Amino acid sequence: MADVNDPLLLDLVEWVAREPRSYSEVMETWRTSCPRLSIWEDAVDRGYVARTQAPGCSVMVAATALGQRFLLENARCPAVV
């Protein structure tokens, strides 16, 4: 059974899969104060997105291989890597 938040999770993962985003951009766009709408936390917990940091660079967020598979399984086009 699909989770009620899956459409929003798909939107977030698809958005991040298009190009890596800065953590601050993701937080500004996807953060919510509603405890029932934890899309960012759900995406991280499920392993669909991950934070990375290269020395001297800001923290970036990118779709993981699991996130790419989530997109494919739900008829969304993952980013071409």
State residue 1's pLDDT score.
Answer: 40
Taking residues 41-62, report their average pLDDT.
90
- Domain 6-73 -> CATH class: mainly alpha
Distance CA 54, CA 34 (A): 32
With residue 60 as reference, give the H or E element that holds it: strand 60-63
Over residues 29-45, the pLDDT tens digits come to: 887 666 666 888 899 99
Share of the chain above pLDDT 90, in %: 44
